[in-house]
Amino acid sequence: MILPLVYYPDARLRAKGAPVKAIDDTLRAFARDMLETMEQHEGVGLAAQQVGKALQFAVIDITGIDDEARPSTMTVKGQAVNPEDHMPLFLINPVVTGTKAKERGSEGCLSIPGLRTDVGRSKRVTVKTVTLDGEPLEFEATGLLAVAIQHETDHLHGKLFIDLLTPAERAAVKDELDAIVEKYGPKE
């Protein structure tokens, strides 16, 4: 089932997600709907807040995305693995720590359609999460996958990528953002 998306500046995007309490059939059904919704909109990631649920739950799929500047890598228990073998990747109550070293790259968001702008993100992240089978999963990621993980984890805490812009950068995209609010925002 394709779920309706929540668009900026909807307050539901600012809600901090409650922890997922049970990994059960209800959650797995929601996971399928999230995945279907993300694919429908050709997104790389989708957080529960973007379909109006304040939950620590997100999905990512970087399969087939050739980002030469930011190749995705994934390391599980010290072993390099093919990230595509772990897609779609569901983040359940993720705990993410990132390196201080940052790199800038272009980002967009299904909840802010059309806007793309550069933001700085940690080059490498360490992620602790749980799979949809309830198994603990710990890994490291770099490249676009690391960017997507940081972007989605921010959503789970009510944060958007435009929050990372400096006032000058924010001013530079103001007209674009205003036009998006006009198009997708609340109607009278």
Residue of 44, 109, 125, 165 that binds Zn ion (CB under 5 A): 109
Sole window of 70-78, 109-117, 118-126, 172-180 interacting with Zn ion (rule: CB under 5 A): 109-117
> Which of 56-64, 107-115, 131-139, 166-174 is the region at the interface with Zn ion (rule: CB under 5 A)?
107-115
39 among known catalytic residues:
no
Q: Which among 68, 152, 169, 188 is annotated as catalytic?
A: 152
CA 10 to chain centre: 17
Q: In angstroms, rounded to a whole number, what is the distance separating the alpha carbons of residues 182 and 168?
A: 22
Size of the site for Zn ion (CB under 5 A): 1
Asked if 146 touches Zn ion (CB under 5 A), the answer is: no
* Residue in the structure block whose two tokens are 């030469």: 68
- Residue 144, token pair as written in the block: 């676009």
What are 148's two structure tokens? 């997507």
Q: In terms of CB distance, is 89 or 109 closer to Zn ion?
A: 109
Cβ atoms of 155 and 47 closer than 8 Å: yes
Please state, in angstroms and rounded to a whole number, the distance separating the CA atoms of residues 45 and 23: 20
Residue 118: count of CB within 10 angstroms of its CB: 14
Return the number of the residue (109 or 156) whose C-beta is nearest Zn ion. Answer: 109
State the residues that interact with Zn ion by CB under 5 A: 109
